[in-house]
Amino acid sequence: MQARVGIVGYRGYSGAELVRILQRHPLVEPVLLEHREDAGAATPIRRTKAPAQLACDPQVVRSEGLAVVFLATPPEVSMELAPALLGAGARVIDLSGAFRLGTPENYAAWYKAPHTQPELLAEAVYGLPEFCRHGIPSARLVANPGCYPTAANLALRPLLEAGVVDRAAGIVCDAKSGVSGAGRKPSLKTSFCEVTQNFSAYSILHHRHVPEVLQVCGLEEREFSFTAQLLPLDRGILETIYFRAQGVASVAALLDIYDRRYASEPFIRLFEPGHTPDLSGVARTNFCDLGVTLDAASGRAVVVSAIDNLTKGAAGQAVQNMNLMLGFGETEALL
Amino acid sequence: MQARVGIVGYRGYSGAELVRILQRHPLVEPVLLEHREDAGAATPIRRTKAPAQLACDPQVVRSEGLAVVFLATPPEVSMELAPALLGAGARVIDLSGAFRLGTPENYAAWYKAPHTQPELLAEAVYGLPEFCRHGIPSARLVANPGCYPTAANLALRPLLEAGVVDRAAGIVCDAKSGVSGAGRKPSLKTSFCEVTQNFSAYSILHHRHVPEVLQVCGLEEREFSFTAQLLPLDRGILETIYFRAQGVASVAALLDIYDRRYASEPFIRLFEPGHTPDLSGVARTNFCDLGVTLDAASGRAVVVSAIDNLTKGAAGQAVQNMNLMLGFGETEALL
Amino acid sequence: MQARVGIVGYRGYSGAELVRILQRHPLVEPVLLEHREDAGAATPIRRTKAPAQLACDPQVVRSEGLAVVFLATPPEVSMELAPALLGAGARVIDLSGAFRLGTPENYAAWYKAPHTQPELLAEAVYGLPEFCRHGIPSARLVANPGCYPTAANLALRPLLEAGVVDRAAGIVCDAKSGVSGAGRKPSLKTSFCEVTQNFSAYSILHHRHVPEVLQVCGLEEREFSFTAQLLPLDRGILETIYFRAQGVASVAALLDIYDRRYASEPFIRLFEPGHTPDLSGVARTNFCDLGVTLDAASGRAVVVSAIDNLTKGAAGQAVQNMNLMLGFGETEALL
Amino acid sequence: MQARVGIVGYRGYSGAELVRILQRHPLVEPVLLEHREDAGAATPIRRTKAPAQLACDPQVVRSEGLAVVFLATPPEVSMELAPALLGAGARVIDLSGAFRLGTPENYAAWYKAPHTQPELLAEAVYGLPEFCRHGIPSARLVANPGCYPTAANLALRPLLEAGVVDRAAGIVCDAKSGVSGAGRKPSLKTSFCEVTQNFSAYSILHHRHVPEVLQVCGLEEREFSFTAQLLPLDRGILETIYFRAQGVASVAALLDIYDRRYASEPFIRLFEPGHTPDLSGVARTNFCDLGVTLDAASGRAVVVSAIDNLTKGAAGQAVQNMNLMLGFGETEALL
């Protein structure tokens, strides 16, 4: 028997990607939960069967027996909906930033708004399976990581744990994202004519995804310089990460750290020395691709980390978390 | 001394293109006329001199002595503004569809709204210089042609005049446009992620630019099948026009018709047999490029017509009209 | 037990798409067959298992027991390889134009080269399952259809069979394709800087895919005007097809013809009146989407037909044919 | 009377851009000099006047009285041609890397080939007018700077001169370029389908443009980490430059350094605090746009530097140099 799972925000890019992945998941039946403007928009294709569309309320959760509800909604909507859904017996995977940061104070500082559910924030488990797998199977509420921090944390934390990064010299993370990362709501900034043939930086040094990296990697803000940039393409994040290496003499030694840490991780792929990931290689996959360059004489090191922002950076990782929560194979519907 | 000219709607794509062209025009000084939400948005560049920004009202027209005012506004705004601007002594070049069609009835039928200025409509001169050059120099109000009709009329009318098109067999005009043709106002349809890697048709057989072709070419609606389509690129229109040729035996004969008709036209370029225009060739120019293919045995003929929708299809042609109205060289600032 | 199937030309775009589809096919194990420059290029990803790479020769076909070999090669290579592969006991699905046309004379006229395997040409079955399903299961050699004709034939043949197309008035097929249709071999015409922000027509009235439409639809060349055009995007074909309708009074009547003809076809999707297919909707799918517009008064009709040129236009349809040949479910690995 | 100038390599992207700029230069008449495969390709447009095409040899230089010859050629071709052209009395502006580095040893180390013209190398003047304007008017041979170093040097040198960069902490320059920077020769790496919807890094830490930055800024290689990356767009370079600031307490203080250094520079534009340059803003212009961000508490600083790689990064800067060499206004044909 298939587990029934709900999706709120299914018309956004992350939500639509969730539907796409879950529709081919053999152990799950997706149900669309209409919340405000989400309703409507039946397909124009004749004789098509679309997933069921129901109201997003606790009664539906109970009567439909939804095991999990995905929230692909803005943080303020997630804070509003999560308590009732949990109260109705569903477990929640939230794709927004609402439950990712450690304290209400930290949330308020980066999101410029008060946190209205501090108890749920305290309970939430950060859903980066490669580093938090332990807590996910039993979690009631999983905070699905941000897209930028996923690529950065997977690249940096093994090296920081191994002590080969000179933190005092500072780490630079130059991040580039496809436009779908900005969401589906129309705006001049994401209009075709403004983006095509263009490239620009935003939130230089102050992006609200930064604290997720500080938190997972144990870094101070002054040690980590982050810039977000908008690529003229649909989907994908590539981060070029610069640091001063210490105690390693070769690319092979750096790769060896990754190889050991990620030996049994199904979604991390390492590139041979002299090769480097690109966005085509991860498009529509749940992989994080990592490539390493080192100038041994000076210690200058560069790691390139690539993911699909809608998959490993959002919907794919959310399904990975659901698989862990429901006791399915971790890669189900994701390979 | 430079003529002073005003621009309303300078933040839209056609309006911005007008500013760009007029700033390099040696005989003209552009003035931005703020209308409603147009205001604001000073440049973020330090120490820059931008054109003056003044209120859009008759008093400014008078006190500044504006010879011409360009309206790069929606038709309902153009109908609202034109009378007062003309009353204040300016001549008006309107880039909207407000004054292009012959009768208020025709306007109402295609624009689904009543025409509020029927007398001005009767007075307006259609600003396609290649066919209406006679009336433009003395016009008070010029209706700048639509982008799609400009490419179609320049391709079709010489052949229709020469009698080499079998009208009974029907003419097909398959038109493709860059996204800037849809204007700068954000919408889901022109969002980057919806347009990139995509291509789609719209207004099939019913686009409101159709009557401009019927009018200029003297065609019946049943003789002319038109489809508009959205290309994943910024600017440019390419139309592939199919008809049954009669009374011509070769591509050379068709080209000869164009050669004679356009011998002294500075903005029409003809392609040698076997060659065909593309959008790169006309980007940021005021040219209309034409290429012809003929299967002599069957009479099947294809004309490819390419323009930049923001230049020859809008702002460039508007400046061409201004040059004629103010007695300047027709190509000033346009080559 | 899985059937083993070989792929020649796996580094081209169609060949790589074949590998991608076959790797997720539960009933098949793909084997890469190296032919000339195809060899090499192991993945730069550490610890990856790629499909086996073997020499492309009859002995391998026999020793590996390959049930089917796909040829994603130019027509002259397909003509060279097919006899030996068939002789070694494999069945062949050829993605080139080598075996699609009815006679060696027709091939020579359109491909400007002699056909070197006239007996195989006579034996080959045209692999458009929606119209040739009968002959495919037992075929030794299937000629997989061209991308452009697939979209055109699926749109036109039901209407022609129903007699609602006025053939004397002529049919126009204005076709637009993504760049992958031109193959992977580098050329100036498919260089990024030449294609991006550009759009152009080629092979106007003389594309070598035309005879596949004439053949399947029973049309004369003089009745069918076809233009191919290059879109600035990766994959997808959209054709806008114009004709004069006769004996039908509404879009509903046209849709009804399709509905009946395609009632049990898994890969044809029809759009409700007022809606029209786009390329995003078919990307990376084996669907052909069809939408219809009719001006009942004049009989002017437009059908928009959209496919992914690499899937339904090449590799997907080839797997559909393989499924039929090997007695698998027709949609296996394709939904 | 116009000066006559020659262009070798006019079919490449930089060469074509040179022709485009020089055709609108009022004081210059361009002559195309055919070298090897450059020949041919008359325009398909009827009745067009193209610039004269002559053989590229010293006799032509003399008989035509060419004042300047531009070499838009690979370094080995520039080394081959420069001596004879200089010998024939022309002055040479070389757009390749042949004459940019200080010593033959340095050239050999970075370009992996011996330098065949060490005496000319010693004589050449590095053509970055903002820092080398003194030597350019009288130079016989100008080495036009590389595209990446132009953006980096204009951003970094004023700050290094002012002593506000903590060099020991290291400088990171994360550079992104449009595809035209790779030249017009077809290759798989610059094929449309490989580039569109993709983004990738190359020459990480080892790009041969690095020594031009070390040279102009007086940096050691170990102090400067540089990565080049390929954007899915035609033209433009944006560099995101990270360093640790010292002795400055605000963005205003950093901007003040630029303001003073560049007060009379026509092609440097500074962005107000909180604003940042993008590629659209510099496309088809000779500007270098600079924007600054500073976290005063930690000293983390980011400068964004944007140019058009074909204009300020190549052809535009070459014309700027020509203007200085021939005593014209420096901005002639460039604003």
Contact (CB, 8 A) for C321 and C136: yes
D214 and D298 both lie in a single domain: yes
* A266 three-state secondary structure: coil
Does the beta-carbon distance from D193 to C190 stay under 8 Å? yes
Percent of chain D at pLDDT exceeding 70: 98
Q: What integer pLDDT is reported at residue A37 of this predicted model?
A: 66
Chain A residue numbers with beta carbons less than 8 Å from the beta carbon of D236 are 197, 199
Q: What angle do CA C189, C193, C195 make, to 5 degrees?
A: 50
Contact (CB, 8 A) for A287 and A312: yes
Q: What integer pLDDT is reported at residue B106 of this predicted model?
A: 97
Question: Nearest CA to CA, how far is B83 from chain C (Å)?
Answer: 38
A298 and A207 both lie in a single domain: yes
Q: Which residue has the tokens 């488990």?
A: A125
Q: Which of D191, D182, D180 is nearest to D235 (CA)?
A: D180
pLDDT category, D104, cuts 50, 70, 90? very high
Q: What integer pLDDT is reported at residue D235 of this predicted model?
A: 98
In a domain, A88, yes or no: yes
Domain containing B212: what range? Answer: 147-309
Taking residues D123-132, report their average pLDDT. 98
B194 and B319 both lie in a single domain: no
B277 and B256 both lie in a single domain: yes
A155 and A226 both lie in a single domain: yes
Residue in A198, A221, A231 nearest the CB of D278: A198
B13 and B135 both lie in a single domain: yes
Taking residues C304-328, report their average pLDDT. 98
Residue D40: pLDDT over 80: no
A221 and A179 both lie in a single domain: yes
Residue C47: pLDDT over 90: no
Convert B137-159 to b/e letters by CB count within 10 Å (16 or more is b).
Answer: eebebbbbbbbbbbbbbbbbbbb
Question: Nearest CA to CA, how far is A53 from chain B (Å)?
Answer: 22
Does the beta-carbon distance from C45 to A272 stay under 8 Å? yes
Taking residues A196-222, report their average pLDDT. 97
C36 and C136 both lie in a single domain: yes
Q: What integer pLDDT is reported at residue A39 of this predicted model?
A: 59
- Residues A66-91 have pLDDT tens digits of 999 999 999 999 999 999 999 999 99
Q: Which of D198, D201, D199, D190 is nearest to D228 (CA)?
A: D201
The DSSP symbol for D47 reads T
Question: Nearest CA to CA, how far is D235 from chain C (Å)?
Answer: 9
Q: Which of C206, C202, C156 is nearest to C179 (CA)?
A: C202
**Sheet of A268-270, strands arranged across:** A200-202, A224-230, A171-177, A237-244, A300-307, A288-295, A268-270
In a domain, A333, yes or no: no
Chain A positions with Cβ closer than 8 Å to B: 13, 179-180, 184, 186-188, 190-197, 232-234
Does the beta-carbon distance from D259 to B46 stay under 8 Å? yes
Question: Nearest CA to CA, how far is B19 from chain A (Å)?
Answer: 18
In a domain, D155, yes or no: yes
The reported pTM is: 0.97
The domain that holds D108 is classified in CATH as 3.40.50.720
Q: What integer pLDDT is reported at residue C38 of this predicted model?
A: 62
Site from C46, C269, C276 to mutate, A interface, most A CB atoms within 10 angstroms: C46
Q: How many domains does chain B have?
A: 2
* D271 three-state secondary structure: strand
In a domain, B102, yes or no: yes
Residue positions counted in chain C: 335
A130 and A222 both lie in a single domain: no
Site from C197, C246, C271 to mutate, B interface, most B CB atoms within 10 angstroms: C197
In a domain, B333, yes or no: no
Does the beta-carbon distance from C187 to D186 stay under 8 Å? yes
In a domain, B28, yes or no: yes
A173 and A270 both lie in a single domain: yes
Q: Residue A179: closest CA among chain B residues belongs to which residue?
A: B193
Q: Residue B278: closest CA among chain C residues belongs to which residue?
A: C200
C97 and C168 both lie in a single domain: no
In a domain, C333, yes or no: no
Percent of chain A at pLDDT exceeding 70: 98
Give how far Cα A238 sits from Cα of A148, A182, D273, Å.
Answer: 9, 15, 27
The active-site residue, picked from A56, A132, A147, A173, is A147
In a domain, A334, yes or no: no
Residue C144, CA atoms < 13 Å, CB-side half-sphere: 34
Q: Could you tell me which residue, D1 or A135, shows the higher pLDDT?
A: A135
Give how far Cα C57 sits from Cα of B74, C78, D143, Å.
Answer: 67, 13, 55
Question: Nearest CA to CA, how far is D189 from chain A (Å)?
Answer: 12
B179 and B260 both lie in a single domain: yes
Q: What integer pLDDT is reported at residue B16 of this predicted model?
A: 96
Taking residues D82-97, report their average pLDDT. 98
Does the beta-carbon distance from A193 to B234 stay under 8 Å? yes
Average model confidence (pLDDT) across chain D = 96
Chain C residue numbers with beta carbons less than 8 Å from the beta carbon of A274 are 44
Beta strand B237-244 with B171-177: parallel, antiparallel or unpaired? antiparallel
Q: Which residues pair with A227 in a beta bridge?
A: A174
pLDDT per residue rounded down to tens, chain B (335 residues): 799 999 999 999 999 999 999 999 999 999 999 988 665 556 889 988 888 899 999 999 999 999 999 999 999 999 999 999 999 999 999 999 999 999 999 999 999 999 999 999 999 999 999 999 999 999 999 999 999 999 999 999 999 999 999 999 999 999 999 999 999 999 999 999 999 999 999 999 999 999 999 999 999 999 999 999 999 999 999 999 999 999 999 999 999 999 999 999 999 999 999 999 999 999 999 999 999 999 999 999 999 999 999 999 999 999 999 999 999 999 999 99
Token pair for residue D275?
């604003």
Residue A40: pLDDT over 90: no
The domain that holds D155 is classified in CATH as 3.30.360.10
Q: What angle do CA C39, C41, C47 make, to 5 degrees?
A: 125
- Residues D66-76 have pLDDT tens digits of 999 999 999 99
Does the beta-carbon distance from C44 to A270 stay under 8 Å? no
Residue in D179, D188, D193 nearest the CB of C193: D179
Chain D positions with Cβ closer than 8 Å to C: 13, 179-180, 184, 186-188, 190-197, 232-234
Does the beta-carbon distance from A271 to C45 stay under 8 Å? yes
Q: What integer pLDDT is reported at residue D37 of this predicted model?
A: 66
pLDDT category, D1, cuts 50, 70, 90? confident
Which residues fall within 8 angstroms of residue B141, CB to CB, at 6 or more apart?
Answer: B82, B86, B91, B92, B94, B99, B120, B123, B124, B125
Percent of chain C at pLDDT exceeding 70: 98
Does the beta-carbon distance from D221 to A194 stay under 8 Å? no
- Residues C210-238 have pLDDT tens digits of 999 999 999 999 999 999 999 999 999 99
